[in-house]
Structure 1
Amino acid sequence: MDVEWGILGGVFGVSLGITVVVVVMFSLGIAAWARASGETPGAGDLDGRAPDRGWAAAPTRGRGKGAAAVAVVCFAACLAVAAYGIDLIVPG
């Protein structure tokens, strides 16, 4: 039984790369979703006091809708990669 190390290394590299891309896309989706909901961490969050959210009350002029769209696209991309991986694993 011979192991083709080049192919094994290629599979490892591709799987590691896809894993990093999916984690980054999911993280960006969470950040965009938080921005769409208007929840931004303030300095008071760290020391137990109520944060001063006066600066976050300014009008965003549609930024929330754009951020929500970005979040949906990021989550859809993660879902597509997961569905493709399951399709590759499960016999047709």
Structure 2
Amino acid sequence: MNIDWAALGQVFGVSLVFTIALVAVFTLGIVGTSRKAQATAGAPATGPSAPARIGAYTCFALCAAAVGYGIYLIVA
């Protein structure tokens, strides 16, 4: 059996980078949905602002697209 160590190292490196990036994007989505808006004029902060929510949903959509693409690569 002959193992191509260079190719194995490339696969490991690329998968490590993409895994870290996917976790970071998902974390940004969680932070975006949990961030509280600043309380102004005595009004309590109720939830994340609209841009934060849109950004968070975009992060979740990117994660879902990456997972879907991975499933597509496995099945194809």
Give the aligned CA root-mean-square deviation in angstroms: 2.0
The match for 1:16 is: 16
Distance 1:69 1:32 in 2: 8
Q: How many residues align?
A: 71
TM-score, normalising length: structure 2: 0.83
Q: Whose radius of gyration is greater, 1 or 2?
A: 1
Structure 2 unaligned regions, length at least 5: none
Structure 1 unaligned regions, length at least 5: 40-55
TM-score, normalising length: structure 1: 0.70
Q: 1:6: Cα distance to partner?
A: 0.5
Q: Does 1:83 align with 2:68?
A: yes
Higher RCO by CA contacts (8 Å cutoff, separation 6 or greater)? 1
**Which structure 1 residue ranges, 4+ long, deviate > 3 Å from structure 2?**
none
Q: 1:90: Cα distance to partner?
A: 1.3
Q: 1:74: Cα distance to partner?
A: 0.5
Q: 1:79: Cα distance to partner?
A: 0.6
| 1:58 aligned partner, one-letter code | T
Distance 1:11 1:66 in 2: 36
